[in-house]
Structures are given as structure tokens and as C-alpha cells.
Amino acid sequence: MKLNPQQQQAVNYLGGPLLVLAGAGSGKTGVITQKIKHLIVNVGYPAHQVAAITFTNKAAKEMQERVAKMLSKKQARGLTICTFHSLGMRILREEANAVRYKKNFSILDSTDSAKIIGELIGSSGKEALFKAQHQISLWKNDLKTPEDILASAANEWERQLAKVYASYQATLESYQAVDFDDLIRLPAILLRENSEIRHKWQKKLRYLLVDECQDTNTCQFTLMKLLTGAEGMFTAVGDDDQSIYAWRGANMENLRQMQEDYPQMRVIKLEQNYRSTARILKIANKVIENNPKLFKKTLWSQFGIGEVVKVVACQNEQHEAEWVVSQIAKQKAVGGDKTKYADFAVLYRGNHQARLFEEALRSARIPYQLSGGQSFFDKAEIKDVLSYIRLIANPDDDPAFLRAVTTPKRGIGEATLGKLNSYAHEHECSLYQTAQTEAALAALPAAGREHLAAFMEMMERYRSRAETDDAGGLINNLLEETAYENHLLNSEEGKAGEIKWRNVGDLTSWLARKGGQDGKNILEIAQTIALMTLLEGKDEDENDAVKLSTLHASKGLEYPYVFLVGCEEGILPHSDSIEEANVEEERRLMYVGITRAKRQLTLTHCIKRKKQGVWQFPDPSRFIDEMPQEDIKILGRKDSEPIVSKEEGRSNLANLRSMLAAKKG
């Protein structure tokens, strides 16, 4: 990779803290990986003292692949390239005793966390539960304790939820479990309060590279500062114009705070874009300049002016979907083999907008891939198998115990589980411990006691093998002993059971590879799996298919042809942001959408749209008016050109007739 002057400056600079303001498509990943190589090969940093931290498994994997091409295995040995959560898990595992956890703690996913919180608030209502879980997560990300909330609670709801937060945390500790937020919160608190451990990790990781720094929350930013110390030997890469995750705790003010915390910090701007045409960038720059600027920058490109950007007014949402799909089919036909379906993306503000585009693509027999579909690790059959793995790794994991002991059914019913729960609660011990206690067993029905004893004997056998046996073989043995395949085939209709069993086979094959390649036993793999479910699950197939994606999920990706749909007041910007007079993040979201396009960008909006069965007549998005009007072409409105010209209409009709004639022949 040949670096431009600004990129080269960012790679070479080692005079202290560095903030690299990397505009969309400016080659930031290349800068990070080149700097890793520079630190190890030219400067002489041992690889095990360098860490590159990002937000998603996908981004970390891309960096790892690039670095593998630059460094030999010997040079890269010990190098850390991972997510914030993976780094937090590493610190927690090594310092488990200091936070009163054992090394093989469990990591609960959002579903398990929601069950616990639901029981504590006495409600399984989705809206109330989501609100409570989300608020507790935000408090954790802000490093606020239940005591902090109680001291400053603005209303009774916050006071009551602070008590739920305290009980939830106590429950996690009793399970010897953490949630995803704790993976960063606990290490941050530990390093803040324990100077000996803090200095130990500062020596371990002498240089830090942090990607997407504008997306850090208070907790992540604190952990970063604690690891780098007063010298601030780090390179932070970010873009305030692409900060779109405030709803999950990201704090763009961290970039401003960084300047105050490190007055000696150098700032280098990457403004040359290697993705889009000049016209697309001009539109993006013009829209985003309406936001207050933390750092002023202007993207530019050497790819030429490019095509005019179309803004299309569709009659309604059905027409919008059908028109977009017709344009994809037309462009694909014109491009022939040189154009792939994977070159096209349809981006929208909310998941609910996807359905009509799915229907239109299916009708046109065009393959598509829906971003944000169900994760492989969220499938019921996979969670069943993982419950056994979690329980082998950590017998205090009550949610895993309850799932494993009842799947497949083995004669352990509600009466038995109710008595176990009562004893465990009264004596403050785990369900696994309770199932090994004579006094608790004596109170159980005879049949339940017998079946429970058989289950516990089996689990103890597998726990004794966990550190020595290969992971794939161990789980295959367990699945055979529990007759899990028969359970699936007998409990599902048609081929559903076979499909689920194939998924389990994929999991066991993956476990075997993980154990063989990385030398990990089942105890270590249990925590690795939990992390893989955080921001994305199993890697999406690289199929030749049109991509349907939310704007949030599209960040970091690029496509030759982008359709940005639903550009209306109330959708983009979202009605909530309009009511709260806070459209700045929505404008950044529009900016992200625009800058995904490489060659061709089309925006659509509807003249009328049905909402809850009633026709609405939304205004076009205000962001369209903010664009340089000489660079956009508006089609379909009363005072503009029609979507399809008469000549194009005649051509389309002729093509249709020739196709029908060919079919008859």
C-alpha cells in the first residue's frame, strides 16, 4: 500500500498521543496496519507489547488478515488485534481473583440478561423490559453504580430501577457471570482502583492503536486512558462526522476530552477519499457542514466528477420498492458479467422498511442478503448445545443449568426445579451446588431425584474431561449420550429437525477446528463463543446478492451502487430526533449513507406512505434541501421530470414485448 503524505505522517509519528481524523474512505485501516508493521519492524517494539483495538469481530479479522501479509509469524507472535470486549475478557481472566471471580466465569448474552432483569422487575412485557435493560446498560457504560443513581435519581422510576440494577449485579456475581458491559466496566474499575495491576498492564501493552474512537463510551474511553497512562503512547483513529451510536452510549465528546486530557496530542487529518466520485463527496461535505464541527475537514477524491445524484419521488412505499428493484435489474442487465448483484445496496433508516424490498426482490428473482438477520449463535439448537458448554466451564451458571437440565426432556419437571430454586435462593448457592446437596435432594420427588442424579453424574464426567479432551470430540460424545439428534428430529416437523441438526454439526466442526488451530480447551472456547455473539455472530456468506441494510449496519462498507430509501421527514431524520430538536446524529447518519456509494447514488422518498393503516403525506427529508442542487437531479415530483421518460418507456415496452415473443417461440 502506497501511503499519501498525511497517512505516512500518521504511521511515523511516535512523539506522544496522536489523533488521526480519518474521513470516510480515507484508508484508516491501512494506516493502522502499516503503523503496526512500523512499530514492530522499524522501531523495535516487541509484538506482544502492541495492541490494536476495534469494535467488531469483522473489523478485527480484517486487520489480522492484513497484518498477516506484512509480518512473518515470528514477527507477529503475541500481537493483540481484538475488540474492546475481547481485551476486557483477557484482563478479567488474568485478574479474576482481584474482582472476586474465578477464571472460568460465564458471559451472559442479552437474552439471559433480559430473563434475569425481567424476573427482578416482575414483568415480561417487551417494551418495559427493553427500556430497563437498555437503561442499566447505559449506566454501566457511564461507569455509574446503583448508589450513584440513587443519589441523583430524577424520578421514582430511576430509583426503583437503580434497586433492580443492584439486585441484577448481585445475581450475576452469584452466578459467577458477567454481561457484555461488565467485560469493559470491571477491568476499567479494577485498573482505576488498583495501581499495581494498572502499571502491570501498562507495561504489558506499551503502544495502543484504537479504531473508531468517536464510538467509544465513557467506560471504553476510561479503559483506554488507564492502559496508556500519562505518556499517552497511542494512536486513536476516528471521525466525528461518523459518530452514529449515541443511542448505545457512544460519546463523541471523548474526542474533545482527549484534547484536554492530552494537551500535547497531535492531530493529523486524512481527507483524501479512495472510494467515491467527487460529486458524491461534494454532496456529503455540503450536508455535514450544517452540523457544528469538532474538527473541520473536507473530503476530496481523484476519481473525477462522476454521475449526477438522482432524487426520486415515488408514489408510495410499494412503488418505491418496485422502482428500486427495477433499476437494479436494469443496471445488472446493462453491466452484464462485469456487474454483480453484490455491487448494489439498499440502505434504510429502520428494519421495518426492509419487507417490501424483500418481496420485490423475490418477485424479480434477484438474490439478496439481509443484514442483521438472526445470528448463528442465537438459534435455539445452538443455544441448547452452548448451555452444556457453559455449564461445563462454570457450574455456577444458573441460566445454563436450567436450559441444559431440561433439554432434551429427561423427567425433571417444574416441581423438581421449583424445589431446587427455593433451596438455592434460601441458602444463597447455585442450582448446580444445590443438586449435589443431600438436604435439597431429600425434598425432591423420587423420580425427579433419580433423573437429576443421572444428569449430575453425566455432567461431572464431562467436567473432569474438559481440560484434557479435544473440544469437538467431547461435545460429540455428549450429544450422543443425550440423544440430542433424536430430540431435534422428534420435536420438529418436516425437514426442520434435519436443518437444525446440520447447524449443530457446523458448531461441533467449528469447535474441533478452534481447539485444533488455537489449542484451546472447552473452558476457554466457552468464553470465546460468548464474545462472538456480541456485535455480530457467524460471518455472513460472501454470496453474489443485493445487500439490504440499515444505515447503522452499513458503516464501514462500500458499494458501487447505493439506493438510500425513505428519505423523508419522520424517517430520516427520525421523528424522535425532530421532536427532541436533535437532528445532528441523523445528519451524520445521512452522511454515512451517502459516503457508502462509490460510483452511483440514488435517493428515494414517497409522496404518500401508509402508517397504521392511514395515508400520510410526508415532506422530503430536509437533508435533500441541504445538498448542492446543481449536483442532484429530482425526478417524479409535479414540477420535475418524470421518473421514466417517454423514450425510456417505449424502450422498456419494446424489450418486454421481445421477451414475451421469445418465450412463446
Q: Which residues are annotated as a binding site?
A: 275
With a cut of 50, say whether residue 539 has pLDDT above it: no
Active site residue 433: no
Asked if 208 contacts 25 with a C-beta cutoff of 8 angstroms, the reply is no
Q: Which residues are annotated as a binding site for ATP?
A: 275
Q: Do the bridges between strand 546-550 and strand 344-348 make them parallel or antiparallel, or are there none, so unpaired?
A: parallel
Highest mean pLDDT pick, 308-317, 375-384, 531-540? 308-317
Q: Which residues of 333-347 are buried (b: 16+ CB within 10 A; e: fewer)?
A: eeeeeebebbbbbbb
pLDDT in tens, 151-171: 998 899 999 999 999 999 998
Model confidence pTM above 0.75:
yes
Catalytic residue from among 212, 239, 240, 396: 212
What's the first-to-final CA gap in the chain, in angstroms? 54
- State the cell numbers at 140: 454501566
Catalytic residue from among 112, 179, 182, 211: 211
Catalytic residue from among 29, 33, 327, 369: 29
| Element housing 161 (H / E) | helix 156-174
Active site residue 228: no
Asked if 366 contacts 328 with a C-beta cutoff of 8 angstroms, the reply is yes
Distance in angstroms (rounded) separating the CA atoms of residues 212 and 243: 9
Q: What is the DSSP letter of 224?
A: H
Mean pLDDT over 104-130 rounds to 85
Active site residue 414: no
Catalytic residue from among 596, 598, 609, 622: 596
Which residues of 23-83 form beta strands (DSSP E)? Answer: 50-54, 80-83
- 3-state DSSP helix/strand/coil % of the chain, to nearest 5: 60, 15, 30
Closest to 191 (Cα-Cα) out of 228, 246, 137, 233 = 228
Distance in angstroms (rounded) separating the CA atoms of residues 478 and 482: 6
pLDDT in tens, 403-458: 999 899 888 887 888 888 888 878 889 999 999 999 999 988 888 899 999 999 99
Active site residue 569: no
Amino acid at 350: G
Active site residue 211: yes
Q: Which residues of 578-602 are buried (b: 16+ CB within 10 A; e: fewer)?
A: eeeeebbbbbbbbbbbbbbbbbbbb
Q: What are phi and psi of 217, to 5 degrees?
A: -95, 180
Helix 182-193 and helix 195-204, axial crossing angle in degrees, nearest 10: 110
pLDDT in tens, 256-267: 889 899 999 999
Catalytic residue from among 242, 369, 595, 602: 242
Q: What is the DSSP letter of 48?
A: G
**Model confidence at 349, in pLDDT bands (50, 70, 90)?**
very high
- Structural domains in the chain? 5-93+184-270 (3.40.50.300), 106-175 (1.10.10.160), 300-367+543-654 (3.40.50.300), 377-536 (1.10.486.10)
Active site residue 286: no
Q: Do the bridges between strand 106-107 and strand 177-178 make them parallel or antiparallel, or are there none, so unpaired?
A: parallel
The predicted structure's pLDDT at residue 648: 56
Q: What is the DSSP letter of 229?
A: T
What residues contact 232, with CB distance under 8 A and at least 6 apart? 16, 17, 261, 262, 264, 265
